[in-house]
Amino acid sequence: MSMPSCRRCTWGPCLPILVCLAWATGCSDPKISAMVFYCDGAGWYSSASSVKAGLRAAGFKGKFDTFSWSAFLGPGHDHLVTARSKAVARRLSRKIEQVQLKDPNRRIHVMGLSAGTAIVLSALEQVPDEVHVNHVVLFSPSVSALRDLTPAMQHVSGQLYATCSPHDGIVKTLVINADGGPGPPAGRSGFRMPSRAGEATQAAYRRVINLPWQPSYVGYDWDGGHTAVTRSKFVKAVIAPRILRLGPHPLDRSIMEQVAIVQTGAEL
Amino acid sequence: MMAWFRAGTSLLMLVLLTAGCAGGKSYRLGREAEQRGDAHQAYDFYCKAAKESPGDGSIAASMERIAPTAATYWHSQARIAGSEGRYSDAWRMAIRCLEIRPNHVEAIQFVDQLEREHPTVVASARQAWLRSGSKSLTVAKSDGVQVASARPGKARPKARRKPSPNPSPQSRSTSPAQNRPKAAKRTKPTPGPRITANRIGDPEKPMPLPPQPKPSPPPENAKPTKAAVPPNDSPTAQKEGEYLVVRTLSKRDKRFKRRMKAVDGIFIKLKDTEEEPDVDLDLYQGDRRVQKIRNLKVGRSKIFRGRSGSWYRLTVLKIHHKSHTVRLGIKAA
């Protein structure tokens, strides 16, 4: 006779707790648990808001963290000195590491503009082996197009997107790249596959995608300019669908795919 | 002194006028195409204008305005191609839609579906697409822009080709040596894939063409009202078996209603017919108009979405302009 009442006593308080637990775990939106680290350009501290607005407009509900890396001594100093600083990049890599240690399932995206891309790549090269980010977006990168992205890509589980434009007046006139590397800046014509690439490099460049400026992007406010690439409309229409998606976007064409087509001597 | 001043002012105005008209011709052609209702053509002309003068705000505004319609056009064409079993064309058209609107969710889902269900066909289409696009991505040269037809009125007939027995790019040889001369003769109407490289808006990417119109039904008979409804043993009637629903609407023939229920909560209203002959229709969900269909010719199709979210394809089977009567077939897309 006492059994039913005892059962009521035990299960009664448990039911709301179980419901709360189920709600908290099962109904969480994967977009909420995502996080974006953003590095602004040298001496340009206002692009983060438009990038954030573009992502939010596309449905991104995660945290957006602007990583301040500038020495506030002007764009020249940022570009030539601070962007190459391993210590500054280590600060970002530690932040990424901390977020991942706290929540290993959290999706992390890292983005940068112009010289900020040097910080992004340097930070990715410095994170411990077990730390991975999901996607990387480099807006108008002023690092060398010949830079070997293999070490950075070891810590990227998804794709690395790099925008480039022949109408970019700033990268066109750059004499020294933000990372000090040789060759033209990647923001002009995109990253290039290193010569004599091994298997690891080839695997890495299968996930590196150049996004060259196209006339159709004018409709999304990117006229090919250096900082216009971070306009919210462009981020919403072109960048967000790529990073909010689990697999590659149908329009993605990796550098490796391009190289394979050229190597087979296909008709251009 | 005054003469020099006047001459200088005139020269300055001329220079300003010329500078302001960068991409002017393409922009004008785009406006004309937009006014005609050819959003996809207008978009291509605006793209050309944008390539010539990327910083022009009016071009950007026009592109932003027209992009959803142009993308919807290619998406609907992709759906039609998919329903006809032309998966390679469908994939390219969906990709064209995504090139215009990379965040077009339904086009992304459609591409995913095609890649999942027809991997071999899509793989060859993708290879062809990569081949046509690799040029500017790896070398990043500024490529020349060609317009398929400078006169918008002539653009359509030029782009159309005879239906090919094997429209898939699979028929292309994958050997580079064999590919080269074929690509060089791209503009010639050789039997082969109906998709040609698009050199208007996005020079490095292929632009699919709209599907060919089905062969028109036999010409109308002398009696207008009877001609609108073909006898059951006519070729048109036999064809109608493939449709879920066949409806006849008329503005003048009292036997037929002007507005009828089509399928899945959608009503069709005949707006008008033209002498050309083509037909203007409106689709309603209840009292709310959900889609306008204009200048649809016999044999041409449009897709629409039902209340449940399923896609349907509406095809004009017959038009009798004298009695303002039209026969429509609807099937799942």
Q: Are the beta carbons of A31 and A103 closer than 8 angstroms? A: no
Nearest to B47 among A215, A223, A257 (CB): A215
In this prediction, residue A1 carries a pLDDT of 39
Contact B179 A250 (CB under 8 A): no
Compute the average pLDDT of residues A64-80. 91
**Mean pLDDT of chain A, nearest integer:** 86
Q: B150 or A171, which is more confident? A: A171
Dihedral sign for Cα atoms in the order A64, A70, A72, A75:
negative
Condensed to tens digits (0 to 9), the pLDDT of residues B100-132 reads: 999 999 999 999 999 999 999 888 888 888 877
Partner residue opposite B95 with nearest CB, options A192, A250, A257 = A250
Put simply, the answer to whether A251 touches B183 (Cβ < 8 Å) is no
Which residue in chain B has the smallest CA separation from A189? B140
Residue A17 lies in a domain: no
Averaged over B12-19, what is the pLDDT?
A: 52
Q: Given this model, what pLDDT does residue B131 score?
A: 79
User: What 3-state DSSP class applies to B144?
Assistant: coil
Q: What is the CATH number of the domain that holds A169?
A: 3.40.50.1820
Structural element, H or E, at residue B228 = helix B224-228
Output the pLDDT for position B134.
40
Q: How confident is the model at residue B36 (pLDDT cuts 50, 70, 90)?
A: confident
* Alpha carbons A259 and A265: distance in angstroms, whole number: 10
DSSP string, A115-151: THHHHHHHHHHHS-TT--BSEEEEES--SBTT---HH
Q: Would the pLDDT of B204 be above 50? A: no
Instruction: Give B180's contacts in chain A (Cβ within 8 Å).
Output: 267
**Which of residues B217 and B105 earns the better pLDDT score?**
B105
Q: What is the mean pLDDT of chain B?
A: 70
B51 touches chain A (CB under 8 A): yes
- On whether residue A4 sits in a domain, the answer given is no
Q: Judge whether A15 lies within some domain.
A: no
Chain-chain contact of A258 with B137 (C-beta, under 8 angstroms): yes
Q: What percentage of chain A carries pLDDT values higher than 70?
A: 86
Choose the weakest-confidence range: B61-75, B99-113, B300-314: B300-314
Mean pLDDT of A13-17: 57
Domain that holds residue A101: 30-264
Strand positions, DSSP E, chain A: 35-39, 63-67, 108-113, 135-139, 160-164, 208-212
Considering only CB atoms, which chain A residues are within 8 Å of B51?
A: 215
Q: Please write the tens of the pLDDT for every residue from B314-332.
A: 888 889 888 899 999 888 8
Check residue A14 and give its pLDDT. Answer: 55
* A146 within some domain: yes
Across residues B43-54, what is the average pLDDT? 91
Q: What is the pairing mode between strands A108-113 and A135-139?
A: parallel
Task: Examine residue A3 and state whether it is found in any structural domain, yes or no.
Answer: no
Chain-centre distance for alpha carbon B230: 29
Reported as a single tens digit per residue, the pLDDT across A239-263 is 999 999 888 899 998 998 888 877 7
The confidence band for B14, taking pLDDT boundaries of 50, 70 and 90, is low
Mutate to test the interface with B, among A218, A239, A255 (most CBs of B within 10 A): A218
Q: Is the pLDDT of residue A127 over 90?
A: yes
State the pLDDT at residue A16.
59
Residue A255 to residue B183, Cβ atoms within 8 A: no
CB B289 within 8 A of CB B326: no
Residue A21 domain flag: no
- A160 found inside a domain: yes
Rounded to two decimals, the ipTM of the complex is 0.83
CB of B265 within 8 Å of a chain A CB? The answer is no
Of A81-95, A223-237, B46-60, the least confident? B46-60
CB pair distance less than 8 Å for A264 and B176: yes
In terms of Cα–Cα distance, which of B286, B122, B324, B300 is closest to B210? Answer: B300
Task: Band the pLDDT of A155: cuts 50, 70, 90.
Answer: very high
Residues of A whose CB is below 8 A from B59? 218
Strand order in the sheet with B288-297: B259-263, B266-273, B278-285, B288-297
Residue A231 has pLDDT above 70, yes or no: yes
Distance CA B121, CA A222 (A): 34
For residue A256, give how far its alpha carbon lies from the nearest alpha carbon of chain B (Å). 10
User: With the C-alpha atoms ordered B76, B80, B83, B88, is the resulting torsion angle positive or negative?
Assistant: negative
Tell me which range, A14-23, A152-161, B231-240, is most confidently predicted by mean pLDDT. Answer: A152-161
**pLDDT score for A210:** 95
Helix (H, G, I), strand (E, B) or coil at B10: helix
If phi > 0 it is left, if psi is from -120 to 50 it is alpha, else beta; for residue A171 that is alpha
How far does B165 lie from chain A, in Å, by closest CA?
A: 24
Kindly list the residues from chain B whose CB atom is less than 8 angstroms away from the CB atom of residue A250.
Answer: 94-95, 98, 108, 111-112, 115
Chain A residues lying within 8 Å of B128, measured CB to CB? none
**Number of domains forming the structure of chain A:** 1
Residue A84's alpha-carbon distances to A42, A79, B83, in angstroms, are: 12, 8, 55
Predicted TM-score of the model (pTM)? 0.67
Q: Around A247, how many Cα atoms within 13 Å sit in the side-chain half-sphere?
A: 7
User: CB contact, 8 Å: B63 with chain A?
Assistant: yes
Chain mean position to CA B128: 21
What would the pLDDT profile of B151-185 be if each residue is shown by its tens digit? 333 333 333 333 333 333 333 333 333 333 333 33
Question: With an 8 Å Cβ cutoff, are A266 and B133 in contact?
Answer: no
The chain A residues in contact with chain B (CB within 8 A) are 58, 164, 166-167, 188-190, 192, 210, 212-216, 218-221, 223-225, 233, 236-238, 240-242, 245, 249-251, 253, 255, 257-259, 261-262, 264-268
Residues in B touching A268 (Cβ below 8 Å): 131, 134-135
In angstroms, the Cα distances linking A10 to A15, A20, B67 are: 9, 17, 61
Measured in angstroms, the CA of A262 and the nearest CA of chain B are apart by: 7
Confidence (pLDDT) at B13? 57
Residue A128 has pLDDT above 70, yes or no: yes
Name the pLDDT band for B275 (thresholds 50, 70, 90). Answer: confident
- Portion of chain A with pLDDT greater than 90, in percent: 70
Q: DSSP letters of B237-275?
A: HHHGGG-SEEEEEESS-TTS-SEEEEETTEEEEEEEE-S
Q: Which residues of B touch A233 (CB under 8 A)?
A: 64
Q: Do A266 and B134 touch (CB under 8 A)?
A: yes
Positive or negative, the Cα torsion across A14, A16, A19, A21? negative
Q: Which residue is it, tokens 């290619």?
A: B74
Closest B-chain CA to A224? B54
Helix axes A86-102, A116-126, angle to 10 degrees: 60
B137 and chain A in contact, CB less than 8 A: yes
Specify whether the backbone of A165 is left (phi greater than 0), alpha (psi in -120 to 50) or beta. Answer: beta
From CA A178, how far away is CA A88, in angstroms rounded? 14
Distance CA B261, CA B259 (A): 7
CA distance B83 to A216: 28
CA dihedral B56, B154, B94, B146 (to 10 degrees): -50
For residue A56, what pLDDT is reported?
Answer: 95
Fill in the amino acid letter for B3.
Answer: A
| Residue that the structure tokens 């992004």 belong to | A120
pLDDT score, position B149: 32
**Which pLDDT value is given to residue A63?**
94
Looking at the complex, report in whole angstroms how far the Cα of residue A208 sits from the nearest Cα belonging to chain B.
Answer: 12
Once rounded to an integer, what is the mean pLDDT over residues B51-58? 88
Residue A5 lies in a domain: no
Do A216 and B202 make contact, defined as CB atoms within 8 angstroms?
Answer: yes
CA distance A98 to B229: 74
Cα-based distances in Å from A164 to A141, A210, B221: 8, 7, 61
* Residue-wise pLDDT tens digits, A174-208: 889 999 999 899 999 999 998 888 899 999 999 99
For B325, the enclosing helix (H) or strand (E) is strand B325-332
CB spacing of A188 vs B54 below 8 angstroms: no
Chain A residues near residue B182 by CB distance under 8 angstroms:
267
Tallying the residues shown for chain A, one arrives at 268
Residue B252 confidence (pLDDT): 86
**Mean per-residue pLDDT for B275-289?**
88
pLDDT value of position B207: 44
How many Cβ pairs closer than 8 A exist between chain A and B? 115
